[in-house]
Amino acid sequence: MTADVGVRLERDGPVATVTLCRPDVLNAQTPAMWLALRAFARDLPADVRVVVVRGEGRAFSAGLDLAVARGVGDGSFAELTTLPPDQAADRIAEFQDAFTWLHRPDLISVAAVRGHAIGAGFQLAIACDLRIVADDASLSMAEVTLGLVPDLAGTGRLVDLVGYSRALEICVTGRRLAAAEADRLGLANLVVPATDLESATADLTAAILAANRDAVVEIKALLAGAARRSPADQQRAEREAQVRRLRDIAGLGE
């Protein structure tokens, strides 16, 4: 559905696949695509457990479509600068929703990254919980090269993944990271030959689905909050989660 705006959602049971489908421009992103992604999140069936994000053709996403952004209409640079600051910020908040739903607590999201993952493409990849990266990938947080900042919820995610110092260096230089460096920095969960990207993504998806869904949700919540909890609070969260699982397994419910 919605392939006419450059992004398509397909569902196969508990797996939903989001495909950026503008291969002629290396899946460059537009505000219309972000609004479609936001709508996908609202309409996603409750029994979906895994969301795979991929790009059609030889790239994941080359980032923001500058031809659109510099033109006119909703989300263009020209349109945003005509709005009062609070309204412009609200518009950007809608765009951020297209990315932040990918790490909501009831899903595991997997980015299958090959070729370019630049700017908005990089932010989309790190919005996902897990990343399988092809050995031909090239990643960059390139917004600074346009005099802009990463504003699609990517800054906090990048700090969580690689730490403040490395995130700062990546963002302020806008340099390209090859797959091997992405792996070394913890941006990739797995690096595979480009020809194996689809099968590796399918294998990871199958492994996630083989696990108990409620246990996966509890584990994700524990890990997602660990860095922001004290050790005592984290241990308490573990205890409470385990009691819930034991009661559920015993058929005692709440």
Does any domain span residue 101?
A: yes
CB atoms under 10 Å from CB of 44, counted, come to 18
Token pair of 111 as six digits: 């980015």
Whole-number pLDDT of residue 71: 73
Q: What is the CATH number of the domain that holds 45?
A: 3.90.226.10
Backbone angles phi, psi at 212, to 5 degrees: -60, 125
Nearest to 99 by CA among 64, 123, 129: 123
Residues labelled catalytic: 143
Does any domain span residue 254?
A: no
Does any domain span residue 189?
A: yes
Whole-number pLDDT of residue 78: 79
What percentage of residues in the chain have a pLDDT greater than 90?
A: 90
Domain range spanning residue 115?
Answer: 3-209
Residues 133-142, mean pLDDT to the nearest whole number: 98
Question: Are 199 and 243 part of one and the same domain?
Answer: no
pTM: 0.94
Does any domain span residue 48?
A: yes
Q: Over 90: is that where the pLDDT of 138 sits?
A: yes
Nearest to 131 by CA among 28, 52, 62: 52
Q: What is the pLDDT of residues 194-214, one digit of tens each?
A: 999 999 999 999 999 999 999
Does any domain span residue 199?
A: yes
Question: Are 176 and 238 part of one and the same domain?
Answer: no
Q: What is the pLDDT of residues 41-66, one digit of tens each?
A: 999 999 999 999 999 999 999 999 98
Instruction: Name the domain count of the chain.
Output: 2
Question: Are 66 and 38 part of one and the same domain?
Answer: yes
Question: Are 204 and 230 part of one and the same domain?
Answer: no
Question: Are 101 and 174 part of one and the same domain?
Answer: yes
Question: Are 56 and 160 part of one and the same domain?
Answer: yes
Whole-number pLDDT of residue 1: 58
Whole-number pLDDT of residue 68: 75
